[in-house]
C-alpha cells in the first residue's frame, strides 16, 4: 500500500510585553502600549494519512511521532479521527484527543484520551479551530492530525540554565527537563502566542492558502481571541492575542459583549455562533478592537530589556481584586485611571517623537537628550501611579522588592527607566536603556550579585534574577519560511524534525526562495494556491476601513506592511548571555536601502500633476517604493487620461511592475496577469481603475504583491481559468508539501 507524505503547516506567533496600560486596558475607555517580542511560539501541524481502502488510518514512517512521546500515534489503533499534540521541550507533555462532532450544530469537540493533566489552551484551541473548519468545509472529514508546539527559550526560566548555556547560545529549543506545570513562565504570554499560532496553523492547514494569510488576519484574530478568552476564563483584555497577530501597537480592547453570547462548545448552535463571531457577521456586536500605531518601534539608540525575576504572579486573581477595588471606589479609581492613561499616552508619544526625530538628520543631540529625560520622568510617574494602585487595591502590582530592583537599576548610567509590565507582581521588570553593550554589562554585573534587602509589603521575594531579553519586533508581517529552524530538543525523530525532513524534500521543488516551499508541480498544491481567497469565508468577512479609527492613519495592514523587516525565527534565538541585547530596530531585509523611489524631476513651470506613491510589499518582506506621476508615465509611453495615474487600471499598474521587475525578487512571472495585488485586504481587480480602489493621494500606499505559481496559471489555463474550491477537498486529498507562516 503506498504511503503518501503528509502536508505540514507551521505558524509562529510572538510574545508580548505590556509596557504601560496594565488593568486600564481591560476597559475599552483606555489603551495599552504593547510590544511584540522576538520570542515566539511555533505550532507545526501535520496531516496523518488515512488508508481509505481499509478504513483505517496510517502515518508514514516520517509522520510517526510515537518514537519519543509515549503516545501511540498509529492511527490504526484509532479508526476515528484524532489529534495528537506534543510539547517536546517538556516532560510528559503529550495530549492525545479523539474528535467528535456534537449534535444540533454544537461544533467539534475533542476529548483527551490519555492520562495526565489537561491543557485547556490546547484543548480549547482545537475545539474552536476544528469547529470553525468543519463548519466552513463542505467535507466533514477533518482527518487526523499531529501537532507539535515549540517555544523559544525565553518563555520559561531555565533552572538548568548554566548547564545549558551552550544550547541557549546555539539558539535551539531547550529541553527544560520538567513538566509544563513545573516550568517557570517568564510572563511573555505563552498561552496567547500558543493559541494564536495553533488556531492559525490549523485554519491555514485546512481552509486557506498561505498567501491568503494577509487578508485573513482579522479572522484569525477573532478566532484566537475567542479561543483564548474561553480558555482563560474571560478575564483578559486580549492585548496579548492582539500583539501576537498585529505586533507592537497601542491596543484598545474589543467589547466583551462580542464573545459573551458564544456559549460552550457542544451547546446547540455553537458552530454557527462561532462562525458569525469569527467572520464578524453580527451587526449588533461588530468587532471593535483597535490597533493603533501598529509597527511602533523604539527610537534608534534605545533598547528594551526584560529582566525575569523568576517568581511568578497570578494575573487572573490580581485582575479580579483590582477590578473589585475599582468598582467599590469608582471616583477615586477613575481619577487614577485617567491620570495614568494620560501619562502613558505622553510616554508613547514621546517615544514616537524620538523614533521620528532620530531618523531626521536635522534632529539634534540635545533634542534626543531632552526626549530621553522626558521618557525617564514619564516612566517614573507611571510607576508612581502604579504604586498608588498597589496601595489602594492591596494587590502587589509594584511590590517593594520590585520597587527596590527598579530603583537600583535606574541608578545605572544608561538605564533610562523601568516599570513592572502588564499586571505587575513578581514576574518581571522591563527597562528602557541606552543601546550600549556597556550598559548591558553593568546590568549583568549587578544581577550576578543582586540581593534584595527590603522586606516586601506582600511577603514576596526575589530569589533569583535572570536578565533576559526580547528584541522588539516592529510588527508581524506574514512571512513564509522553511521549518528547518524548528528542530525539537535532541529530537531527530520528533514531528518537528519530520517537518524539517518534509521541508527539505519540498523545498527541492521550490524554484526560487529556499524558505518558501513551492507546491510540487505534479500535485494539486498549485490549485490550492489560487482558490482560497475568494471563497465563502473570505468573501463573507466584513471589510473594515482600517484607517478610520487609527490615530496616525497607520492601519494594521499598512503597518503590517511597513514591518517588512520582521526578523525570522533564526534571527530570534541569538542570545548568548543571560542578558541579550534588544535591538531598537531589527535588521532590515536589505532590499529597501538600495531602492530609492523613482524620482521624477518635472521641468520647471510644468505641473507634476497627480502622483501615486506605492510601497510594494513582497511576500519575502522586501519592499519597493514606486512613485508614478506624469513624467513617469510619459517616459514609459503609458497613456492615461489627464496623465493621472489614478486613472490607470489595476492591470496597467501590474504591467508597469512587471516591466520593472527586479532581479532580487522572485522569478518574473510569464505575464503581468500572474501578479496579485492586495490593498487593505482586498484583491485588486484588473479591470478597475485605481481611483476605485482604496489608494490615496496623500500617503504612500502599501500594496501587497504575490505571484501566482506557474503551475496554477497553467492549471487555470487548462481549466479555462477556473479553480476549484478548497471546500471540495478533504483531508487526504491535500497535497504533500510544507509551509510555514510567521504571524
Ligand X SMILES: C[C@@](O)(CCOP(=O)(O)OP(=O)(O)O)CC(=O)O
Ligand Y SMILES: Nc1ncnc2c1ncn2[C@@H]1O[C@H](COP(=O)(O)OP(=O)(O)O)[C@@H](O)[C@H]1O
- Interface contacts to ligand X, rule CB under 6 A: 18, 22-23, 25-26, 187, 189, 236-237, 239, 315, 319, 421-423
Is the Cβ of residue 35 or residue 626 nearer to ligand X in the bound state? 35
Judged by CB under 6 A, does residue 124 bind ligand Y? no
- Distance in angstroms (rounded) separating the CA atoms of residues 590 and 595: 9
What is the pattern of x (binds ligand Y, CB under 6 A) and - over residues 194-213? Answer: x-------------------
Shortest separation between residue 92's beta carbon and ligand Y, angstroms: 12
Least Cβ distance, residue 473 to ligand Y (angstroms): 17
- Cβ proximity to ligand X: between 237 and 289 the closer is 237
CB of 187 to ligand Y, least distance (A): 6
Minimum distance of ligand X from residue 430's CB (angstroms)? 10
The answer to whether 386 contacts ligand Y (rule: CB under 6 A) is no
Residues 543, 546: Cα–Cα separation, whole Å: 9
What is the four-CA torsion angle of 346, 252, 480, 227, rounded to 10 degrees?
A: 150
Q: What is the C-alpha to C-alpha distance for residues 499 and 483, in angstroms, rounded to an integer?
A: 6
Check binding of 42 to ligand Y (CB under 6 A).
no
Contact 484, 150 (CB under 8 A): no
Q: Does 87 bind ligand Y (CB under 6 A)?
A: yes
Work out the number of other CB atoms within 10 angstroms of the CB of residue 14: 34
Q: Contact with ligand Y (CB under 6 A): which of 102, 108, 149, 477?
A: 149
Contact of 334 with 6, CB cutoff 8 Å: no
SS3 string, 500-557, reads: HHHHHHHHCCCCCCCCCCCCCCCCCHHHHHHHCCCCHHHHHCCCCCHHHHCCCCCCHH
Four-CA torsion 326, 332, 335, 336, nearest 10 degrees: -60
* Position 559 contacts ligand Y (CB under 6 A): no
Q: Contacting ligand Y (CB under 6 A), which of 65, 192, 480, 497? A: 192
Nearer to ligand X, 333 or 526 (CB): 333
CB of 134 to ligand Y, least distance (A): 23
Tell whether residue 460 is a contact of ligand Y (CB under 6 A).
Answer: no
Give the contacts of 247 (CB within 8 A, at least 6 positions apart).
14, 36, 294, 295, 473, 474, 475, 476, 477, 559, 560, 563, 566
Q: Which does 287 bind (CB under 5 to 8 A by kind): ligand Y, ligand X, none?
A: none
Residue 140 burial (CB count, 10 A): 10
H/E stretch holding 86:
strand 82-86
The 428-434 sheet, strands edge to edge? 415-419, 428-434, 302-308, 466-468
Nearer to ligand Y, 244 or 677 (CB): 244
What is the number of the residue whose Cβ is closest to ligand X?
Answer: 422
Give the Cα separation of 721 and 715 in Å (integer): 8
Among 119, 124, 127, 289, contact with ligand Y (rule: CB under 6 A):
119
Contacted by 236, from ligand X, ligand Y, none: CB < 5 to 8 Å by type: ligand X
Give yes or no for residue 560 binding ligand Y (CB under 6 A): no
Residue 427 Cβ, how far from ligand Y at the closest point, in Å?
8
Is residue 153 within the footprint of ligand Y (CB under 6 A)?
A: no
Question: Could you give the CA distance from residue 383 to residue 20 in angstroms, rounded to a whole number?
Answer: 10
Binding residues with ligand Y: total (CB under 6 A): 14
225 binds ligand Y (CB under 6 A): no
Rule CB under 6 A: say whether 190 interacts with ligand Y.
yes
Binding of ligand Y by 30 (CB under 6 A): no
Q: How far apart are CA 97 and CA 740, in angstroms?
A: 24
Question: Could you tell me which stretch among 139-147, 188-196, 457-465, 547-555 binds ligand Y (CB under 6 A)?
Answer: 188-196
DSSP assignments along 658-717, one per residue: HHT--TTSSPPPSSGGGEEEEETTEEPPTTSBGGGTT--SSSPEEEEEEE--HHHHHHHH
Unique residue bearing C-alpha cell 499616552: 345
151 touches which of ligand X, ligand Y, none (CB within 5 to 8 A by kind)?
ligand Y
Stretch that binds ligand Y, among 72-80, 103-111, 118-126, 318-326 (CB under 6 A): 118-126
16 is an interface residue for ligand Y by CB under 6 A: no
Q: Minimum CB separation from ligand X for residue 239, in Å?
A: 5
The option from ligand X, ligand Y, none interacting with 119 (CB < 5 to 8 A, set by class) reads ligand Y
How far, in Å, CA of 507 to CA of 476, rounded? 24
What per-residue string of b and e applies to 253-280 under the rule 16 or more CB within 10 Å gives b?
bbeeebbeebeebbeeebbebbbbbbbb
- The one of ligand X, ligand Y, none whose footprint includes residue 237, by CB under 5 to 8 A per kind, is ligand X
180 binding ligand Y? (CB under 6 A): yes
**Interface with ligand Y, residue 241, by CB under 6 A:** no
* 215 is a site residue for ligand Y (CB under 6 A): no
Contact in structure between 249 and 294 (CB atoms under 8 Å): yes
Is residue 418 close enough to count as binding ligand Y by CB under 6 A?
A: no
Is residue 15 packed enough to be buried (19+ CB in 10 Å), middle (13-18) or exposed (0-12)? Answer: buried
Closer residue to ligand Y, CB minimum distance, 123 or 345: 123
Which of 82, 127, 157, 191 contacts ligand Y by CB under 6 A? 191
| Cβ-based nearer residue to ligand Y, 214 or 397 | 397
Q: How far is the CB of 230 from ligand Y (least distance, A)?
A: 13
Nearest to 681 by CA among 196, 200, 216, 210: 216
**739 membership: H or E segment, kind and range:** strand 737-742
| Residue 121 binding ligand Y, by CB under 6 A | yes
CA–CA separation, 203 and 196 (whole Å): 11
- Residue 239 binds which of ligand X, ligand Y, none (CB < 5-8 A, kind-dependent): ligand X
Residue 97, interface with ligand Y (CB under 6 A)?
no
CB of 220 to ligand X, least distance (A): 19
In the numeric block, the cell 477533518 is attached to 142
For the bound state, the minimum distance from the C-beta of residue 136 to ligand Y, rounded and expressed in Å, comes to: 26
Residue 567: CB minimum distance to ligand X, A: 22
> Nearest-CB residue to ligand Y?
191
- Quick check: 69 binds ligand Y (CB under 6 A)? no
Label residue 657 exposed, middle or buried (CB < 10 Å: 0-12, 13-18, 19+): buried
| Nearer of residues 83 and 703 to ligand Y, judged by Cβ | 83
Residue appearing with cell numbers 498567501: 211
From the list ligand X, ligand Y, none, partner contacted by residue 121 (C-beta under 5 to 8 A by kind): ligand Y
Residue 194: contacted member of ligand Y, ligand X, none (CB under 5 to 8 Å, by partner type) = ligand Y
22, interface contact from ligand X, ligand Y, none, CB < 5-8 Å by kind: ligand X
Choice from 143, 189, 295, 567 touching ligand Y (CB under 6 A) = 189
Among 7, 36, 57, 122, binds ligand Y (CB under 6 A): 122
Could you identify the residue written with the cell 507611571? 382
Q: Give the containing element (helix H, strand E) for 718.
A: helix 710-718
Q: Which does 122 bind (CB under 5 to 8 A by kind): ligand Y, ligand X, none?
A: ligand Y
Interacting residue ranges for ligand Y, rule: CB under 6 A? 87, 119, 121-122, 149, 151, 180, 185, 187, 189-192, 194
Amino acid at each position: 500500500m503506498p504511503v503518501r507524505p503528509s502536508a505540514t503547516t507551521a505558524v509562529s506567533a510572538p510574545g508580548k510585553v505590556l509596557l504601560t496600560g496594565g488593568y486600564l486596558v481591560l476597559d475599552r475607555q483606555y489603551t495599552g502600549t504593547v510590544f511584540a517580542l522576538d520570542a515566539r511560539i511555533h505550532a507545526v501541524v501535520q496531516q496523518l494519512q488515512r488508508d481509505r481502502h481499509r478504513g483505517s488510518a496510517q502515518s508514514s514512517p516520517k509522520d510517526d511521532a510515537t518514537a519519543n512521546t509515549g503516545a501511540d500515534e498509529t492511527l490504526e489503533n484509532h479508526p476515528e479521527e484524532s489529534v495528537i499534540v506534543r510539547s517536546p521541550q517538556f516532560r510528559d507533555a503529550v495530549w492525545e484527543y479523539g474528535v467528535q462532532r456534537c449534535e444540533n450544530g454544537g461544533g467539534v469537540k475533542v476529548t483527551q484520551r490519555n492520562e495526565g493533566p489537561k491543557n485547556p489552551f490546547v484543548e480549547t484551541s482545537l475545539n474552536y479551530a476544528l469547529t470553525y473548519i468543519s463548519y466552513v468545509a463542505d467535507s466533514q472529514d477533518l482527518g487526523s492530525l499531529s501537532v507539535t508546539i515549540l517555544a523559544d527559550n525565553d518563555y520559561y526560566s531555565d533552572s538548568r540554565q548554566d548547564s545549558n548555556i551552550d544550547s541557549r547560545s546555539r539558539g535551539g529549543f531547550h529541553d527544560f527537563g520538567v513538566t509544563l506545570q513545573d516550568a517557570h513562565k517568564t510572563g511573555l504570554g505563552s498561552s496567547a502566542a500558543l493559541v494564536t499560532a495553533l488556531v492559525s496553523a490549523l485554519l491555514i492547514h485546512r481552509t486557506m492558502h498561505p498567501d491568503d494569510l494577509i487578508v485573513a488576519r482579522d479572522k484569525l484574530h477573532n478566532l484566537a481571541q475567542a479561543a483564548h478568552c474561553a480558555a482563560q476564563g474571560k478575564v483578559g483584555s486580549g492585548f496579548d492575542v492582539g500583539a501576537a497577530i498585529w505586533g507592537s501597537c497601542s491596543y484598545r480592547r474589543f467589547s466583551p459583549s462580542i464573545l459573551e453570547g458564544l456559549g460552550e462548545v457542544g451547546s446547540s448552535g455553537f458552530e454557527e455562533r462561532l462562525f458569525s463571531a469569527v467572520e464578524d457577521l453580527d451587526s449588533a456586536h461588530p468587532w471593535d478592537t483597535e490597533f493603533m500605531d501598529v509597527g511602533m518601534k523604539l527610537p534608534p539608540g534605545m533598547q528594551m530589556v526584560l529582566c525575569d525575576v523568576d517568581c511568578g504572579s497570578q494575573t487572573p486573581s490580581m485582575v479580579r481584586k483590582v477590578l473589585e477595588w475599582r468598582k467599590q471606589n469608582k471616583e477615586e479609581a477613575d481619577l487614577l485611571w485617567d491620570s495614568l492613561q494620560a501619562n502613558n499616552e505622553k510616554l508613547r508619544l514621546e517615544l514616537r517623537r524620538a523614533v521620528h526625530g532620530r531618523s531626521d538628520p536635522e534632529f539634534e543631540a540635545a533634542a534626543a537628550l531632552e526626549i530621553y529625560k522626558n521618557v525617564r520622568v514619564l516612566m517614573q510617574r507611571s510607576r508612581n501611579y502604579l504604586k498608588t494602585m498597589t496601595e489602594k487595591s492591596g494587590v502587589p502590582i509594584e511590590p517593594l522588592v520590585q520597587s527596590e530592583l527598579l530603583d537600583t537599576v535606574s541608578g545605572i548610567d544608561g538605564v533610562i527607566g523601568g516599570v513592572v509590565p502588564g499586571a505587575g507582581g513578581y514576574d518581571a521588570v522591563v527597562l528602557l536603556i541606552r543601546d550600549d553593550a556597556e550598559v548591558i554589562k553593568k546590568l549583568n554585573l549587578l544581577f550576578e550579585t543582586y540581593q534584595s534587602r527590603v522586606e516586601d509589603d506582600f511577603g514576596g521575594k526575589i530569589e533569583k534574577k535572570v536578565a533576559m531579553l526580547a528584541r522588539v519586533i516592529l510588527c508581524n508581517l506574514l512571512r513564509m519560511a522553511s521549518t528547518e529552524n524548528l528542530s525539537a530538543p535532541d529530537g531527530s525523530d520528533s514531528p518537528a524534525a519530520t517537518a524539517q525532513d518534509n521541508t527539505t524534500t519540498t523545498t527541492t521543488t521550490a524554484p526560487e526562495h529556499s524558505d518558501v516551499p513551492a507546491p510540487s508541480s505534479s500535485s494539486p498544491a498549485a490549485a490550492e494556491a489560487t482558490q482560497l481567497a475568494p471563497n465563502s469565508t473570505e468573501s463573507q468577512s466584513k471589510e473594515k476601513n482600517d484607517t478610520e479609527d487609527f490615530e496616525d492613519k497607520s492601519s494594521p495592514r499598512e503597518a503590517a506592511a511597513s514591518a517588512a523587516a520582521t526578523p525570522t525565527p533564526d534571527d530570534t534565538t541569538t542570545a548568548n548571555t543571560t542578558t541579550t541585547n534588544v535591538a531598537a530596530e531589527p535588521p532590515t531585509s536589505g532590499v529597501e536601502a538600495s531602492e530609492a523611489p523613482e524620482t521624477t524631476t518635472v521641468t520647471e513651470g510644468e505641473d507634476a500633476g497627480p502622483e501615486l506613491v506605492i510601497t510594494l510589499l513582497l511576500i519575502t518582506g522586501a519592499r519597493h517604493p514606486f512613485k508614478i506621476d506624469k513624467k513617469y508615465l510619459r517616459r514609459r509611453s503609458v497613456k492615461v487620461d489627464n496623465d493621472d495615474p489614478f486613472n490607470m487600471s489595476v492591470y496597467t499598474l501590474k504591467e508597469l511592475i512587471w516591466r520593472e521587475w527586479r532581479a532580487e525578487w522572485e522569478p518574473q512571472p510569464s505575464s503581468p496577469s500572474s501578479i496579485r495585488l492586495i490593498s487593505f485586504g482586498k484583491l485588486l481587480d484588473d479591470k478597475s481603475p485605481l481611483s476605485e480602489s482604496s489608494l490615496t493621494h496623500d500617503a504612500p500606499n502599501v500594496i501587497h504583491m504575490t505571484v501566482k505559481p506557474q503551475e496554477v496559471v497553467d492549471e487555470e489555463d487548462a481549466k479555462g481559468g477556473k479553480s476549484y474550491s478548497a471546500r471540495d477537498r478533504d483531508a487526504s486529498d491535500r497535497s504533500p508539501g510544507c509551509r510555514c507562516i510567521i504571524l
